[in-house]
Structure 1
Amino acid sequence: MNSDWFQGLQREVANSTKADVARKMGIKRSRLSCVMNGLGAYGSGAASTASIEQEYRRTFENVECPFNGNAVRIEFCRESALCSAPTHNPRQMMNWQACQKCSHKPKQIEVITLKKSLKRVPTEPVQQAGIIDKVTLPLPEVGAPQIADQTNQEAA
């Protein structure tokens, strides 16, 4: 694999061990070994390495933000660059404008891939407060004959 994340993963393993890198990423060492050595379904191309890439980037990729000079996670960088312009806050707007010119800003292709990889969870419709219940029968008037009394009298 020639991708940048895979080369970074190889660097991390070279500086440490597969077991340590796998533990930091939250995956099994055997899975990491299969990916790195191209064994099994990963070697034949039947299994996708997208989840491994996502875990690697989440764990090891930090970029230096040119706006504030701090090391930030790549997710924060992407969220800041791809969100809509925050017109309500001048400082956030300056940060957003800097993100639009930044070299770390993801390309449109990466955004589409990221959206496809996210699983959508079906949500149940939320019942709104104040909806009038049209099925419930109105209460009888005070002193009027009750429905249960009428059925008992007719049956007798």
Structure 2
Amino acid sequence: MTAVAAPTYASERWFLLLRQAADTHGVRGTAALLGYANHTGTSQILNGCYAGGTDAFATRVLERFDTVDCPHLAQSLTSSSCRQYASRPCPINSSREVRHWRACQGCAHRPQEEQA
């Protein structure tokens, strides 16, 4: 019996988050949380035997499971929610939202601007 080599992505952040979610929710539950009706692809990725590319899957995992502790809201946000708050234009209709926007502009968690 030969040992199965670890997948090349085994040490990447998205895979570690996926493994943690699978340990917590099971493979089927994790696939459902990611929006997949079928758990086969999730299982194959976890087992290192998925034949396709994993970029889109990795993006979905990070959007769903990668969180940031927002100091302004004092709660956890997904990375995509944090990015949406930080990159939006300054709100003009709500002083509460302006305070939040200003806090985002100087926050250590603020995502870096995309280079053109």
Task: Normalising by structure 1, report the TM-score.
Answer: 0.56
- Counterpart of 1:130 in structure 2 is none
- Counterpart of 1:96 in structure 2 is 101
Q: Does 1:4 align with 2:13?
A: yes
Shift of the 15–40 alpha-carbon distance from structure 1 to 2, 3 Å rule, reads closer
Look up the SS of the partner of 2:30 in the other structure: helix
> How much has 1:100 moved relative to structure 2?
1.8
Amino acid in structure 2 at the alignment position of 1:29: H
Look up the SS of the partner of 1:64 in the other structure: strand
**What is the CA–CA distance in structure 1 between the aligned matches of 2:28 and 2:41, rounded to whole Å?**
10
User: CA contact under 8 A between 2:62 and 2:79: conserved in structure 1?
Assistant: yes
- The structure 2 residue matched to 1:13, chosen from 12, 22, 25, is 22
Amino acid in structure 2 at the alignment position of 1:99: C
Look up the SS of the partner of 1:21 in the other structure: helix
* Structure 1 gap ranges (5+): 113-156
- Counterpart of 1:116 in structure 2 is none
The percent of aligned pairs where both chains have the same amino acid is 25
Larger radius of gyration: 1
Could you say which structure has the greater relative contact order, defined with CA pairs below 8 angstroms and 6 or more residues apart?
Answer: 2
User: CA contact under 8 A between 2:41 and 2:50: conserved in structure 1?
Assistant: no
Q: CA RMSD in A?
A: 2.5
| Structure 1 range deviating more: 76-85 or 98-107 | 98-107
State the Cα deviation string for residues 56-107 of structure 1 (Å, max 9, x = none): 2343334322112133333321111011222454322221121122232222
- The structure 1 residue matched to 2:46, chosen from 17, 36, 39, is 36
**What is the CA–CA distance in structure 2 between the aligned matches of 1:40 and 1:87, rounded to whole Å?**
47
- Counterpart of 1:124 in structure 2 is none
Look up the SS of the partner of 2:77 in the other structure: strand
Aligned pairs, number: 106
